Amino acid sequence: MSNFPTTARCVVIGAGIVGNCLVGHLSDMGWDDIVLIDKGPLPNPGGSTGHASNFIFPVDHSKEIVDLTLESQRQYGALGMQNTCGGVEVARSEERMEEFRRRMTSAKCWGIESSLMTPAEVKELVPFINEEVILGGFYTPSVSAVDSLETGTQMRKRAQEAGHLKVLTNTEVLDIETIETSHGKAISAVVTEDGTISCETVVIASGVWSPKLAAMAGATIPLTPAVHQMADVGPFDVLVETNQELAYPIVRDMDTFCYERQSSGSMEVGSYGHRPILHRVDDIPSNDEAALSPTEMPFTPDDFDQQMEEAIELMDFLGDGEIKYAINGLLSLTPDANPVLGPTIEVENLWAAAAVWVKEGPGVGKLLAEWMTYGYPELTDPHGTDVSRFYPQQRNVNHIEARADEHFNKTYGIVHPREQWNSRRNITVGPVKSRTDDLGAFYFEAGGWERPHWYQSNSDLLANYDVPQRTHEWDARWWSPLSDAEHLHMRENAGLVDLSAFQIFEASGIGALEYVEKMVVNKCDVPVGKSIYTPVLNESGGFRSDLTIVRLQENLFRIITGAFDGARDEYWFRSHLPADASVNLENKTNAICTFGVWGPKAVALLSRVTESKLDQDNFPYGTSQSLLVEGLPVDMLRISYVGDAGFEIYTGTQHGLALWDALWEAGKDYNLRPIGAAVYGTSGRLEKGYRLMGSELENEYNPVEAGLDRNKVKAADFIGKTAYVKARAVKQVAQLCALTMDSNKCSAGYERFPTGSGNEPILTLDGDRILDDKGRISRVTTAGSAPSIGKYVLLAYLPIDKCIPGTALQVLYQNELYPITVATTGRNLSLYDSEDARMRC
């Protein structure tokens, strides 16, 4: 074929909403040699976009998802492809009404107009609804329906008309070829049934087929095709006579996981309430074999009957409508229900752009185009959608299907910010799980690891300490008063923390120093045995991570990061290894386990089990020593994330159980208790004002704003240096602050406790949202109790004029206002022992 492009800079596979929008944005950003391939015909090649219901409810609790959704609505609107019809979610339970109050909080946070409605008010909007089965509604006027196929067509044409894009339809991709590189492999070509295209970059935007295409290159895109049932029912006079595509707001019947969307004279009834029906990619028929399209699978009516009954209960007339079209529509589910975007970890220049809803498509197109062009996305921080967030044991079909099976029915569910998974637990555990089990540990999953969150064996401590109980079930869910008791016990005695979930990489070799210097902000050329806590930036100067590095030897650096970010961090470090093999990066997570011992008695306790001197003079804060504990070789690091003196103790996993037992035995004389991650990660950290990646730290903020800048900038070059130096030179528009709640009392007279999951806005005393000069929203990034000072603490970025201790503000939680006051700002946010005297004794 003469027109067949034998070379391209970038090949995008898949002409659904994502692929089309991506090529449009890439073209806008100057990519002038793109090929878009699809195995089906245009404008509807047969993927999930072609059967989407195409509506957008913009309110979500996740900032990342809202950023993508609002940007998508903006793009659909700019192209004239959006019909803003409004939408109302209805509740059939009090629990759902509480969720609506949470939605009101999110709506306020993101600046989306929404309101709570009585059943009668819902009836005014939707006259054919049975108001007797609902308790109320959550109405958002900016809910819209869009034309995703035409939007895709226009975005594609934009790139074609610019002369930047060639489109190949009805062309199946047979293989994706790679070449060996110094540290793995990289993209070289895409093989199609019509010929081979040599290329630098490939993007897989192939929806449910993405895992199969990724596998061609030896990569993984963890998702599973799953069924969403949908039926078109009608015609109905009440709809026909409107003479409009959408005269009535779209209704989401949240407690039955169903929606009803007018489509001219008919109603589309869709459901996320049926049993999870997962397919394998190989089960999807080809365009030729499919009776409808490949992703419009045969309807299985038995699965839909209950949804029909519930729909009729809400809108009686639906029962008389004819079912003219009904499908088991395929969509993509990932293990955590978020999209999978960004560079794949296995193959250089192979990108994932999958598991994206129509409501996020154009935004994702822009985000990826920025990411591919600049090396990082500007639109939002992608840590929740980044394909590199999954660990190896989370990328296989067992894990993907188990988790998709579990979360499918939560699509419209009420998901608590602390909610834990039921499936695929105990897959990854540390060496002392048998001991922590015996102590009644309640485990939270952290990056796949089982991590004790609190210990039932500490129940007796509740008699010693007057810790607050939580009246409201929502506040008390996935929470225990034991955590505050453990905290207070540690402050007076000593606590033992299982830190086995730490992610540990070691960089070694003659180029190791230069390499780690390049990767992080703070100086790594320190004496052997010193530790470095440091931000990790992208080129924009925004946060990519924060972590601790220990110089164990001249050319050996141990990099320690958290379980939630380990997979992303490992990808980032690996993808920046020098080509000359001067550095070896080894993942030691499974080889090394870690325990922490902190509290005023920690040093004395540990001195019992080692002959080395542990006092501050002989073992200063921030340093590491290799020594023996009861004859077991360990590396001890004097450091603290909880505000008390103590050590992180690293040893080979094979010694973990013996080390734990030795510490436990010695601890008997010091009232040592096991302490859960709720203390380590939240209450202990919060009293000291320490920051957490993904909460306070994300790419929209720089180290100066986060208060993590140092007095000097190191001489060595590092990623983000230019931006960092610039940020230090200009007046900051925002700063991270710690705030305390003046009162937790709600209107019902009991205390409420914000979750700090990112959607709770900080408001002025007039109740207005607070935005800084860059348009960034002030919101709670972490919330939790500070038991030692008897306060409930929030962290938030505030515009610089409000970063003054004593400033009175408000926080919105579950749609109710609470008075708060700025307590600290700047580098030291500590609310407890702000001189750090306890940590250095």
Partner 1 sequence: MGVMRILVCVKRVPAPGARIIITEDEQNIDSGHLGFTMSPHEECAIEAATQLSEQHGGEVTILTAGSSASEEQLRYAASVGASSLVLIENSSGNDWDPQRTARALSTAVRALENESGNYDLLLFGNEAADTGGYQTGIRTAHLLGRPIVNAINGIEAEEGGFVARRETLSGVEVYRVTGPAAFGVKEGINLPRYPTMKGRLASKKLSVRVIEDHSEPGEQYRLRLFRPAEVAKETVILGTDSNAAGAVVDLLEEMGLV
Task: Look up tokens 């029906």; give the residue.
Answer: 277
3-state SS of 807-821?
CEEEEEECCEEEEEE
Among 95, 124, 237, 283, binds partner 1 (CB under 8 A): 283
Is residue 275 a contact point for partner 1 (CB under 8 A)?
no
Among 3, 132, 180, 289, binds partner 1 (CB under 8 A): 289
Q: Interacting stretch for partner 1, rule CB under 8 A, among 171-179, 281-289, 379-387, 803-811?
A: 281-289
Any residues with CB less than 8 A from the CB of 780 and at least 6 apart, and which?
754, 756, 758, 760, 761, 762, 794, 795, 796, 811
CB of 422 to partner 1, least distance (A): 30
Return d(Cα 759, Cα 28) in angstroms, integer: 32
CB of 292 to partner 1, least distance (A): 8
Is residue 324 a contact point for partner 1 (CB under 8 A)?
yes
Phi, psi dihedral angles at 183 (to 5 degrees): -125, 20
Any residues with CB less than 8 A from the CB of 58 and at least 6 apart, and which?
66, 69, 70, 73, 110, 112, 140, 142, 143, 359
Comparing CA positions, the residue from 230, 207, 227, 231 lying closest to residue 277 is: 227
Looking at the Cβ atoms of 9 and 279, the one nearer to partner 1 is 279
Binders in 298-317 for partner 1, by CB under 8 A: 298-299, 301, 305, 308-309, 311-312
Return d(Cα 778, Cα 97) in angstroms, integer: 26
Q: Interacting stretch for partner 1, rule CB under 8 A, among 137-145, 321-329, 599-607, 614-622?
A: 321-329
Strand partners, 598: 495, 646
Looking at the Cβ atoms of 327 and 507, the one nearer to partner 1 is 327
Among 320, 665, 669, 768, binds partner 1 (CB under 8 A): 320
Looking at the Cβ atoms of 305 and 669, the one nearer to partner 1 is 305
Q: Are strands 672-674 and 494-498 parallel, antiparallel or unpaired?
A: parallel
Is residue 233 a contact point for partner 1 (CB under 8 A)?
yes
Looking at the Cβ atoms of 161 and 665, the one nearer to partner 1 is 161
Half-sphere exposure of 24 (CA within 13 A, CB side): 24
Among 186, 191, 277, 290, binds partner 1 (CB under 8 A): 290
Amino acid at 745: K
Task: Look up tokens 């001991």; give the residue.
Answer: 435
Looking at the Cβ atoms of 169 and 671, the one nearer to partner 1 is 169
DSSP states of 227-283: EEEEEEEE--HHHHTTTSS--S-EEEEGGGTEEEEEETTEEEEEES-SPP-B--GGG
Looking at the Cβ atoms of 42 and 627, the one nearer to partner 1 is 42
Please give the size of the binding site for partner 1, defined by CB under 8 A.
28
Looking at the Cβ atoms of 225 and 681, the one nearer to partner 1 is 225
Is residue 286 a contact point for partner 1 (CB under 8 A)?
yes
What are 632's two structure tokens?
A: 């077991």
CB of 283 to partner 1, least distance (A): 6
Q: Interacting stretch for partner 1, rule CB under 8 A, among 119-127, 293-301, 580-588, 734-742?
A: 293-301
Q: Interacting stretch for partner 1, rule CB under 8 A, among 48-56, 277-285, 515-523, 532-540?
A: 277-285
Residues listed for the chain: 841
Q: Interacting stretch for partner 1, rule CB under 8 A, among 238-246, 282-290, 529-537, 642-650?
A: 282-290
Looking at the Cβ atoms of 309 and 773, the one nearer to partner 1 is 309
Is residue 284 a contact point for partner 1 (CB under 8 A)?
yes
Q: Are strands 82-84 and 87-91 parallel, antiparallel or unpaired?
A: unpaired
Any residues with CB less than 8 A from the CB of 183 and at least 6 apart, and which?
574, 577, 579
Among 322, 615, 661, 669, binds partner 1 (CB under 8 A): 322
What are 30's two structure tokens?
A: 């100057």
Looking at the Cβ atoms of 180 and 289, the one nearer to partner 1 is 289
Task: Look up tokens 């001890």; give the residue.
Answer: 636
Is residue 723 a contact point for partner 1 (CB under 8 A)?
no
CB of 309 to partner 1, least distance (A): 6
CB of 393 to partner 1, least distance (A): 30
CB of 161 to partner 1, least distance (A): 15
Return d(Cα 810, Cα 106) in angstroms, integer: 15
| Cα 810 to chain centroid, rounded | 26
Looking at the Cβ atoms of 107 and 297, the one nearer to partner 1 is 297
**Residues in contact with partner 1 by the rule CB under 8 A:** 231, 233, 283-292, 297-299, 301, 305, 308-309, 311-312, 318-324
